[in-house]
Amino acid sequence: MYPGAHSVTNPDKPAVIMSGSEDLLTYGELEERSVRLANALREAGLGRGDTVALLSDNSARAFEVYWAAARSGWYLTAVNRHLTAAEVGYIVSDSGARVLVVSGALRELAMEVAEHAPGVRIRLAYDGEVPGYRDYDALLASSSPVAPADQPRGADLLYSSGTTGRPKGIRAELPERQVDEAGDTLVPVLRGMYGFDTESVYLSPAPLYHAAPLRFSASVHAIGGTVVLMEHFEAEAALRAIERYRVTHSQWVPTMFVRMLKLPERVRARYDLSSHRVAIHAAAPCPVDVKRAMLDWWGAVLYEYYSSTEGIGMTIIGPEEWLAKPGSVGKPVIGTPRICAEDGTELPAGEIGTVYFEREEVPFSYLGDPDKTRRARHDRHTTWYTTGDIGYLDSDGYLYLTDRAAFMIISGGVNVYPQEIENVLTVHPAVLDVAVIGVPDAEMGEAVKAVVQPAPDAVPGPRLEAELLGYTRERLARYKTPRSVDFVDELPRTPTGKLVKGRLKERYAAAG
């Protein structure tokens, strides 16, 4: 299915509601506007395999651009709006985008980007004027609202977060089918595992340039539900949106859970969350204590999954399963997980190694980086793929993640996994956010350091450092305890919750 089918049966139903402004986009409007944009850009010369770049805040209009690309055989590259103009320009140019659509809310950034992406032929702006960009609505008004007979299915071309280096485009092969033909792998998962249907109301609090919010929201449109889109995440506003719109399904990252749990009890108790049946979370491992606290508060509605933008595989674990297997990210629903040692040998249950997924067909590549594409595949098993995560399988086949290979600390020849330490410190009441990294050490090679953003009422300094070090010593082996704690005003995170540890490590390396 796709929105066009629902525009025939229920044209006035909201496809998107903006949670803050309460503005909405109906299925009829989404269908007509995406058709008009598709027709206009086809007339301008875009053909199958071309790329449309999107630089936007969280706006309902973004889905018009998404579905125009999805029904025309184009790639859609949604770009992180928090990047600099040069960084945005790099992604737009690297993707080969012939069209750049921007939001007027990002006027200054969009103006700067133009000079960094000279290859773009067509520049369009919605929700406000931007010098150097054509008016999006005027273009749509001049275009035909009649859908063409040939509507080949497009795909997204999204970029990695750049947490350990420059972002890379992840490009799948275009499917050989029409937009209204079945074939999306995510839609059956949403239906079967989470119970999505035409009555579902899905709250999306994260930025649309990230793979999960974009893909899940598009799948909700394919199914015929309603997406409630937050302009930006704010803890109490999220609870208010669940109550106001009778949200049935939602998706989160663990840092959002932490922010909501740290709301005063009277605020948390203020909102009626009884409509809320499924709260999905992913993007980063959730500390066990945080998830237990969320289950105590929200009940058995938390469903965790593990996947990647590359789409090499997927695991899911429900609330009852998780209580029996705390810390696990579940069993596979797409692909078969394999754990391998550094030499590529498959490891038995319980042993930690690189996580691969065996899957017959994963036709993706890292754009312009054949070496990275090659490294994502096992040397001997050509249908095994990895994104560099580390973990293990238990005897029942449940997957547990320990960290990413790039973040592992080797201290005195011993592997230390920062995530384990971060999970302990995250729940300390004086900690708002934390990152654990390895810093150069003459004796140990690397020393474990915790970088902490204190809670608003906490006083950073030697006394708090001693308290946090003592707290970790009581809960972890001594070699895992940080040697020191630094306090910062804010940690570098992507808006989707991923720590940009590469930036932290560079900062400490530069300091000697």
Neighbouring residues of 312: CB distance < 8 A, sequence distance ≥ 6: 335, 357, 359, 362, 364, 376, 385, 386, 387
| CA–CA gap between residue 117 and residue 45 (Å, rounded) | 19
CATH of domain 410-510: 3.30.300.30
Dihedral angle at the C-alpha atoms of 201, 204, 205, 209, nearest 10 degrees? -160
pLDDT of 163 reads 46
* pLDDT interval class at 497 (50, 70, 90): low
- Comparing 280 with 504, the larger pLDDT belongs to 280
> Model confidence at 165, in pLDDT bands (50, 70, 90)?
low
Q: How many other C-beta atoms can be found within 10 angstroms of the C-beta atom of residue 221?
A: 23
Residue appearing with tokens 């010369």: 45
Distance (Å, whole) CA 268 – CA 263: 6
Task: Assign 164 a pLDDT band (cuts: 50, 70, 90).
Answer: very low
Contact in structure between 397 and 423 (CB atoms under 8 Å):
no
**What tens digit of pLDDT does each residue of 348-375 get?**
999 999 999 998 876 688 888 888 888 8
Which of 3.40.630.30, 3.40.640.10, 3.40.50.980, 3.30.450.20 is the CATH number of 3-222?
A: 3.40.50.980
- The string of pLDDT tens digits covering residues 183-229 is 777 899 899 999 999 999 999 999 999 899 999 999 999 999 999 99
Dump pLDDT digits (tens) for 273-286. Answer: 999 999 999 877 78
- Percent of the chain at pLDDT > 90 equals 70
Gyration radius of the chain over CA positions: 23
pLDDT digit string (tens) for 249-262? 999 988 889 889 98
Cα(380)–Cα(345) distance, rounded to whole angstroms?
9
The yes-or-no verdict on residue 162 having pLDDT over 70 is no
What are the residue ranges of CATH 3.40.50.980 in the chain? 3-222
* Least confident range of 68-72, 134-138, 422-426: 422-426
Place of tokens 């669940």: 242
Digit-coded pLDDT (tens) for 43-96: 999 999 999 999 999 999 999 999 999 999 999 999 989 888 988 999 999 999
- Residue 309: both structure tokens together: 């933008």
CA angle 105, 229, 101 (to 5 degrees): 40
Q: What is the tally of helices (H) and strands (E) in the chain?
A: 17, 27
Residue labelled with tokens 């280096």: 165
Domain with CATH 3.30.300.30 in the chain: 410-510
Distance of alpha carbon 207 from the chain centroid: 8
